[in-house]
Structure 1
Amino acid sequence: MAWQGDVAAASVPAPRVGDEPELLAAAQAGDAYAAHRLGKLCAQHGDRAAAKHWWERAAAGGNIDSAYNLGIWHEKHGSLEDAVTWYEAAAGTGDAEAAANLATLLLEQHGDVESARYWYEIAAHAGSRTAARRLAQLCEDAGEIAPAREWHRQAAADGDVASAHDLGFLAYSAGDDEETVHWWEYAARGGHAESAHCMGLYLHASRDPEGAEAYYRLAARNEHPGAASRLGAIALSRGDLRTARAWFEMAGGAGRVDDQRMAGFVCVELGDCAAASHWFGRAAAGGDAESAFNYGLLLIAEFGDLAGGQHWFRQAALAGHHGAAVELGGLLSVAGELGEAQEWLSDPPPPAWGRPAEPELTASAELAAAATGRRGAVPLDLAELTEVLGTWDLVTRPLHDHSDVIGWLVERSGVHESAIEHLASVRSTLLRPGSAPWPSPGEIDHVLATARDLRHRLGVQ
């Protein structure tokens, strides 16, 4: 059933011109079906009050379509308790759409999860795709993953690509590669850009860059900024600066500060300092310390703007950027402001991790961040995950035999064995989900400290 004009039941034939007297006579004589059709005609003519009157007559006579339409009428007009009453009347007869609308109203307006779940189940069993998806989400929120997957499967089998996408993530988190690929491919073929992007990440993490690029392009055709960012990095790795610029600018235009910064770097390489200034400036204004630092360098080197350069160095230094603090100290020394210069130069912030990680590692980190950030949860920090994975890759690179990598790292660094084992365990989970639950933010903080200690002791940055 669906609204036509304001409300109407699709199963009821539309009244023809000239039907009014016939319908009116039948409705006044107590014909519930005629009263329903007359209400539909009034709705089409924009007479909502008359539509409500005749639907009430029809519903009193047992017409379920009118009960459903009255639920919609009252919901639209803010009479939510009356809407619940009429939806219940229709849903009680097995009407799937009424049950789904009732469940949504109870959930969103009353916070009644138990009752909403009951009516979603009624609607889902009656074939409502929307109800199956909402029920799956409620099960996910309750930690009931097995039933969540079943309800998502029902919705996905009925063409819901969002549920197919969710099934891909549930499978990915459980380490089920076959199901992951099946559902993300299914959703991507159905036009779901995020699934196409996730398939690209999955293939990149699996060391299939050509397959990954094909999916990134599919997602980018639907203007997915993350896919555009990945394509920018691929073009940059090939030395194709103009193509890289176009992709980074597309991603940066969607507000991604990392890609605004990358667009700035590429524009510098192309000799377009005005465009570089634009992108570094946007990212710096968005709080990106690295962009603020580079914006300051650009303003001084290309435009001779010492005051502007000093301003952005200070912003970056206050955000913890080591290079900006050193540059700021130098500028202040030249300007004769020796007191503040000494403050920055004597105790600059420590250098941050800036080494680019391998694409397959960043893809795994991005999938982990997305998987942990679903359903309103706070995702693990992508930069921190990338640093954890990149550090392990960096410090173990000289080792040819990885049979005792933990013992080798303990011997070389002096870091406690249990700390390195924890770092190895978290790394394994990030690269091979399903082997253990996703790490908590506290665990990431802990292993990140271990990673930084390892780099410091081994003298690698």
Structure 2
Amino acid sequence: MAAPAVPAPRVGDEPELLTAARSGDAQAAHRLGKLYAQHGDRAAARLWWERAAAGGNVDSAYNLGIWHEKHGSLEEAVTWYEIAAGTGDAEAAANLATLLLEQRGDLEAARGWFESAARAGSRTAARRLALLCEDAGELAAAREWHRQAAGDGDVASAHDLGFLAYSSGDDAETVRWWEYAARGGHADSAYCMGLYLHASRDPEGAEAYYRLAAKSEHAGAASQLGGVALSRGDLRTARAWFEQAAGTGRAEDQRMAGFVCVELGDCAAASHWFGRAAAGGDAESAFNYGLLLIAEFGDLAGGQHWFRQAARAGHHGAAVELGGLLSVAGELGEAQEWLSDPPPPAWGRPAEPELAARAELASAATGRRGDVPLAVTDLTEVLATWDLVTRPLHDHSDVIGWLVERSGVHMSAIEHLASVRGTLLRPGSAPWPGIGEIEHVLATARNLRHRLGIR
């Protein structure tokens, strides 16, 4: 049975409380400490809480833990939290665990107190424990604690459960938890549900979730809605969505906003967005900014500057344009440098929406716990390359042999590419690939396109 709540001190109670506290009444001492704390007299509050805690008042022990933590007396804070936590107080156990983990780095002790707090009903402790289990690779235990936290309304744990399910290939659990979190206002879960439905070839359902995420100003959702509007030929709506996403600093959306503004004839706005993205290092935007400056504003020097920036970043078209400008200007030496050995053309074909969605989900899944995420552009290129090079084939029973015969690329390389593609499209069929593995299969994909004459 829970202990009765200690009533808050009332104005005028001081003499009565003081008399009772001096006579050894622990509850009165605790209430007197609260009164002094409310009046800003922290030293007196500490004094009475110490007397109350000595008399067995758990709330005073907990308050003393907070008092010492705020004043930097960490050893004292640990002592008082331990006293309160030892009686089963969930909040004290959670605070003690956090202090031990973040200030002392004592993972083992912290985990024990998080578990004690979680079993006593602390949602916060259940989530922290779940994350510690994830970091230790104990995924079954992580799911158990995430479920407890999510069941108590923690939408962040529900979101994590969605990713754990997605990474293991459990579609039903993925949908269950992302829908639950999205209904609870978790914008990232609404966005992930949109991507999941897009990957499942349900664009209407995806759009509904993107709109739900966009209500919370989710930049990725705004970007997706910009693409939806663009596919419908609604340039003004597309511009609004891309500009919303671009305002958060996303270079790809700044670039798309620039393109849409060009189509709408608003060259000043296009210049603004291309310029921002170019200044942030986006080579494609730098190239387009250079084209815009020359074509619309007659600014040859500005165009040359941005072509050079893009060419140095490996942009093929910028190198060719720069070489042409330099030739006309009589600067034949530098012109020849760019024209004789321009960077190879980059992959520029748009991928099918479901492939792009799978790539983004894989990137998010691999970057969840502070790891470096796989690059969305690289994953998209891997998936889209396979889709492109196998498109002429009607019978896919021996697609690897067919590609080996047509391209001359070694079978093991094509098998590896096919395996990674399968993992990206069917999560859970194998562990997520690492960065080095993606670099390897990306090189295979580019080699395939080169040998098959596909640009």
TM superposition score category, shorter chain reference: over 0.9
2:453 matches 1:436: no
Number of the residue aligned with 2:58: 64
Amino acid at match of 2:382: V
2:187 matches 1:227: no
Deviations 1:78-128 (CA, angstroms, capped at 9, x unpaired): 111111111111001110000000001111111111111000000000000
Number of the residue aligned with 1:104: 98
TM-score, length basis structure 1: 0.97
TM-score, length basis structure 2: 0.98
Question: What is the rounded CA distance, in whole Å, between the counterparts of 2:79 and 2:305 in structure 1?
Answer: 63
Unpaired runs of 5+ residues, structure 1, are 1-8
1:398 counterpart (383, 392, 395): 392
2:279 counterpart (282, 285, 293): 285
Question: What is the rounded CA distance, in whole Å, between the counterparts of 1:330 and 1:10 in structure 2?
Answer: 84
2:244 counterpart (246, 250, 271): 250
1:155 counterpart (149, 153, 161): 149
Trace 1:249-268 onto structure 2 (pairs within 5 A). 249-268=243-262
Trace 1:79-98 onto structure 2 (pairs within 5 A). 79-98=73-92
SS of 2:369 mapped into structure 1: helix
Number of the residue aligned with 1:423: 417
Number of the residue aligned with 2:107: 113
Question: What is the rounded CA distance, in whole Å, between the counterparts of 2:80 and 2:249 in structure 1?
Answer: 45
Compute the displacement of 1:12 (Å).
2.3
Deviations 1:403-458 (CA, angstroms, capped at 9, x unpaired): 21111111111111111111001000000000000011111011000000000011
SS of 1:437 mapped into structure 2: coil
Deviations 1:362-386 (CA, angstroms, capped at 9, x unpaired): 0000000000001101101111000
1:143 counterpart (137, 143, 155): 137
2:5 matches 1:15: no
Number of the residue aligned with 2:340: 346
2:307 counterpart (295, 302, 313): 313
Number of the residue aligned with 2:318: 324
SS of 1:12 mapped into structure 2: coil
Deviations 1:315-366 (CA, angstroms, capped at 9, x unpaired): 1011000001111111111111111111111111000101110110000000
Compute the displacement of 1:11 (Å).
3.3
SS of 1:398 mapped into structure 2: coil
Compute the displacement of 1:273 (Å).
0.5
Question: What is the rounded CA distance, in whole Å, between the counterparts of 1:139 and 1:296 in structure 2?
Answer: 51
Deviations 1:193-212 (CA, angstroms, capped at 9, x unpaired): 00000000000001111100
Question: What is the rounded CA distance, in whole Å, between the counterparts of 1:10 and 1:51 in structure 2?
Answer: 22
Question: What is the rounded CA distance, in whole Å, between the counterparts of 1:451 and 1:80 in structure 2?
Answer: 56
Question: What is the rounded CA distance, in whole Å, between the counterparts of 2:96 and 2:254 in structure 1?
Answer: 45
2:27 matches 1:33: yes
Question: What is the rounded CA distance, in whole Å, between the counterparts of 1:252 and 1:401 in structure 2?
Answer: 43
Question: What is the rounded CA distance, in whole Å, between the counterparts of 2:31 and 2:8 in structure 1?
Answer: 7
Compute the displacement of 1:50 (Å).
1.1
Compute the displacement of 1:30 (Å).
1.3
Question: What is the rounded CA distance, in whole Å, between the counterparts of 1:396 and 1:99 in structure 2?
Answer: 58
Unpaired runs of 5+ residues, structure 2, are none
Amino acid at match of 2:20: A
CA RMSD after TM alignment: 1.0
Runs of 4+ in 1 over 6 A off after TM superposition: none
- 1:41–1:307 Cα change, 3 Å: same
- 1:10–1:31 Cα change, 3 Å: closer
Compute the displacement of 1:10 (Å).
11
2:193 counterpart (199, 219, 228): 199
Q: Percent identity?
A: 87
Question: What is the rounded CA distance, in whole Å, between the counterparts of 1:107 and 1:10 in structure 2?
Answer: 32
Amino acid at match of 1:246: A
Question: What is the rounded CA distance, in whole Å, between the counterparts of 1:89 and 1:109 in structure 2?
Answer: 19
Number of the residue aligned with 1:236: 230
